[in-house]
Chains A and B, each alone.
Chain A
Amino acid sequence: MLDIWEVAAIAAKVLLYTSLSGATGLVLVRIVFVAHVTSLERRLRSFALVLTGVAFAATTFSFLLRGAALTGDVSGMADPEMLGLLWTTSVGDVLFYRLIGIALLFVGLFIPKVGVWVTLTGSLIALWSFAQIGHIPELDQTGIRLLLLLHLIGISFWIGILAPLRWLARDPEKLAAAADLGHRFGVMASGVVLVLVLAGGLMAWLILGSISLIFSTTYGVTLVGKVALVALLLGLAAANKFRFIPAMQGGDHAAAKHLVRSVEIETFVITAVLGVTATLTSVLALPM
């Protein structure tokens, strides 16, 4: 059974994954689709600020929870010896990268024009922290760390499009803008999904090393669960791209409602995928 600190660690990680990838995604969407999201500028900034705040809280809480995991009780969260010990390991490096990245993200949101590049830099530094800990560094190859970074950027971009697309699709007066944003993202997403699937598949193969371990280890079975959820996501994305967006381009308001619903389900499934990922990276050892 998972103990309370492991459950709390997974919950904090899900919060961290969703908030950091969400904030990064909004930054990417702001850069790539600047013309489409001009009308959403204020909303985007406010949402990114909230997500950055949640990412800061989740980062800090995750670090303190690791202290608790070392003593088995809440005292570890404020134990200078335990927290100092953590600081000397890769956990400390990760905390450093994340706090610097989140600070840049936060500051950049208040700077006009060039601020977006500051937020992008912050996002990338924070995302890079994920390549400093967990199972990927155990493989000890810079190329694989870059592959993970690429994977995370792709996921963030996907997550980042959800809120702006939903906001536009909910407004009947912005049907054409929503359809155009959805269409352009759909074109780019074909490439993004390919990179995501290839990078994810390659990392899984490098981590597992053998197909037989997929069904004979908890790690492998959990990974299969993640892939199944991703397949569901791809199904939803395909429905958006081939059914709802083309219908919206033809002026169909009912299709926009379907798209909104689909985006909401996607958000739920992505959260589940991140939950499974948090479990894989928190409590499951690599199969040997």
Chain B
Amino acid sequence: MKIIITLVLTTLLASGASAHSKVNTTTPPNNSILANVPTQIEFGFANKIRLTKVEVSHDTNPAVAIEIGGQTGFEQMYTMPLQDFGDGSYFVRWRGLGMDGHAVQGEFSFEVN
């Protein structure tokens, strides 16, 4: 039985079980390398969700929450302004609620040189 439980747990932990987090497209795309800092970021989700939190962190700056106020409905596309931290790696982490009641989350990153 221990073997079964270990197998199940190992599979779960190794695979990143948060599969309820389907973001179809982001602008800029995940892992892209850009010449300039984009003025805004975009999310395109497979299904409508309500974004509840978006945070951006940067090589030399701690995570900053992006204002998403005013968004009160469930949408498939979200666009929001991005703060300019200069060159370096940007990490965007988001959380939201699916229409089925499931919490969803994910992240993407890009680099500015």
Contact = CB atoms under 8 A, between A and B. Distances in A.
Contacts of A283: 12, 17-20
A89 interface: yes
B68 to A, nearest CB: 11
Contact of A6 (B15, B18, B53): B18
A200 B52 CA distance: 35
Contacts of B11: 218, 221-222, 225
A133 B100 contact: yes
Interface of B is mostly: mixed
The SS class assigned to the A binding surface is helix
Contact of A86 (B5, B55, B93, B101): B101
A3 B53 CA distance: 16
Contacts of A72: 53, 55, 93, 95, 105
Residue among B18, B93, B99 having the largest count of chain A Cβ atoms under 10 Å: B18
Contact of A85 (B17, B18, B93, B97): B97
A2 B52 contact: no
A5 B105 CA distance: 11
Contact of B7 (A90, A219, A225): A225
Interface in A79-121: 82, 85-86, 89-91, 94
A138 interface: yes
B13 interface: yes
B92 to A, nearest CB: 13
- For the side of the interface on B, what is the size category? 20 to 34
A30 B15 CA distance: 44
Given A70-B53, A285-B19, A222 B97 contact: no
Contact of B53 (A71, A133, A219, A279): A71
B41 interface: no
Interface string A207-221: 000000000001101
Interface string B75-102: 0000000000000000001011101110
B1 interface: yes
A234 to B, nearest CB: 13
B13 A2 contact: yes
A91 B97 CA distance: 11
B35 interface: no
B101 A91 contact: yes
Contact of B17 (A86, A138, A218, A272): A218
10 contacts: A2-B12, A5-B103, A66-B103, A70-B97, A71-B52, A72-B53, A72-B95, A89-B97, A218-B19, A285-B19
